[in-house]
Amino acid sequence: MNDADVGLPNDVPLCHELIRQQADSLDKAQRRIEQLEHAMDVLLRQKYGPRSERLDPNQLRLFTDEGDDSAASQEAEVLTETPAKPKRTWKRRGRQTLPEHLPRVPVVIELSERERACPGCGGLRAHFDDEISEQLDYVPASLFVRQFIRRKFACRSCQEHVAIPPKPPQPIDKGLAGPGLLAHVITNKFAYHLPLYRQEQILAHHGVTISRSTLCGWLAQSAELFAPLYNLMIRRVRGSRIIWTDDTTVPVWDPTLPRTRTGRFWVYLGDVLNPYCVYDFTPRHTRDGPERFLKGFSGYLQADAFSGYDRLCVGADVIRVACWAHVRRKFDDARHTAPLPAHQAMARIGQLYEIERACNTLPAEERCVIRQRDAVPLLIAFGEWLDEQSRNVLPKSPVGKAISYARNQWQDLQTYTRDGELSIDNNVSERSVRAQAIGRKNYLFVGSDRGGRTAATLYSLVGSCKRLHIDPFAYLKDVLERLPSHPVDRLGELLPDAWIAVNPEARHKIAS
């Protein structure tokens, strides 16, 4: 007898039960292995792999049921009604024309008197034309000192009653920094993600020693000056018919803890009538932040699946619009463990996006008609497919979680088809928190909750400039000069969209 056979039961029913128990244990172990392999695969692709989630359009044909004539005809209808993309004509790229607004510094190159001698007759050749070529050059930015010279006046007869004109209102009362320097520091940090300690070093290279704590104080005082404008932007965004929102983390320095704690930046984008990109800061990831910011809002809220929005959307005032990009991302993560159902889902989602690309440039009313005609039947078929697949996959598997995620938000995922101004996904707000994601890699953390609120105010002004393709430095400098003495009842004139209407020369030639 083998030593391994010692202790094994001889009872056949008991052996069968033992086999069932072992099979169940093996099944659980296999599921655990798949989950760990999936988690490792996702982490490795996030760290080292490409970010793209593109799917070959020909992949659609691999998962089309041959016997389903309605699906085939439906797909053919979508493909035939989708206008063909114009063939791209490639032009030879030459040197671009330099902008006309740049100042020209002429460098005249003359022939020497000996070189001007004519080889034929020996006389001097005369100038008759110029050949001009241009070269783009750079002069480092420079600081300058603005002197305020206030003339004093007194009565010659009395030798008294001295009068002196008041100093113009400044962004920071009795402060060293002028509007241009403040705008420069704000733009460098919140538009170009340059930490204050690097700006401190750059200023030192110009021979000016300004500590980063002083720069930080300038930012806080600037945010206080901008507070009325920031609050007006919040009210305007809250009055939008559609709001896009998302959030991202930011480390917060806390001297009472051995490490930083995690705060949150939230972004809220208004509609076309209120084209502002407003940020809010909260010390933690709770529903209190969105509920406080969106108090009084009525309309469509395009957001992710964060449960903190649930209480906002209980009544009929706020209608939630879910994000198809999040759904696709879940299936994309599951395609290595369950390729067949994952690719089937991605192919169906790809059909929805094809419809969006075809009607992207059309007016909202026409876009809504096309969605009702083409996207709604695809969604009905997709919903039936999800119900069927949910009975055939393990709920805790990656593809099972992706299916559950889609089914739990199914009603909200269909909302976009009812209004042409809505988006199929929430990518516009996800792109708007990219600034914070890049910034925290450079400045590492915010110094306090007050620093987070200061950053939210200044990010809102810079982010709104980027959304409207405005040069943020030009806008901030002009507003910092005007805001200290600007009438409160005319504050709307300084909003980014109103400002660029009066200063069109400050618009960027390329998208920010």
Predicted confidence band of residue 67 (pLDDT cuts 50, 70, 90): very low
pLDDT of the residue at 197: 95
Q: 19-28, 124-133, 169-178: which range is least confident on average?
A: 19-28
Question: Does 82 have pLDDT greater than 50?
Answer: no
Which tokens hold the place of 312?
A: 């906002």
Instruction: Answer with the residue of higher pLDDT: 395 or 454.
Output: 454
pLDDT of the residue at 53: 63
Predicted confidence band of residue 75 (pLDDT cuts 50, 70, 90): very low
Q: 38-47, 55-64, 105-114: which range is least confident on average?
A: 55-64
349 close to 324: Cβ distance less than 8 angstroms? yes
Q: What is the DSSP string of 62-116?
A: HT--TT-HHHHHHHHHHHHHSPPPPPPPP----PPPPPTTSPP--------TTTT
Predicted confidence band of residue 119 (pLDDT cuts 50, 70, 90): confident
Provide the terminal-to-terminal Cα distance of the chain, rounded to the nearest Å.
79
Cα 277 to the center of its chain, rounded Å: 10
pLDDT of the residue at 400: 94
> Any bridge partners for residue 423, and if so which?
none
Question: Does 54 have pLDDT greater than 70?
Answer: no
d(CA 153, CA 187): 41
Predicted confidence band of residue 462 (pLDDT cuts 50, 70, 90): very high
Predicted confidence band of residue 72 (pLDDT cuts 50, 70, 90): very low
pLDDT tens digits for range 392-436: 898 899 999 999 999 999 999 999 999 999 999 999 999 999 999
Question: Does 86 have pLDDT greater than 60?
Answer: no
Q: Where are the domains of the chain?
A: 324-425
pTM over 0.85: no
pLDDT tens digits for range 123-163: 888 888 889 888 888 887 888 899 989 998 888 888 788 89
Residues in the chain, overall count: 512
> Any bridge partners for residue 117, and if so which?
124
Give the largest Cα separation in the chain, rounded. Answer: 132
Predicted confidence band of residue 79 (pLDDT cuts 50, 70, 90): very low
Predicted confidence band of residue 246 (pLDDT cuts 50, 70, 90): very high
Instruction: Answer with the residue of higher pLDDT: 66 or 89.
Output: 89
pLDDT tens digits for range 499-509: 999 999 888 75
320 close to 303: Cβ distance less than 8 angstroms? yes
pLDDT of the residue at 267: 97
Q: If you average pLDDT over each of 17-26, 171-180, 230-239, which comes out highest?
A: 230-239
Burial code (b: 16+ CB inside 10 Å, e: under 16) for 209-219 equals ebeeeebbebb
Q: Average pLDDT over the chain, rounded to whole?
A: 87
Q: If you average pLDDT over each of 22-31, 154-163, 191-200, which comes out highest?
A: 191-200
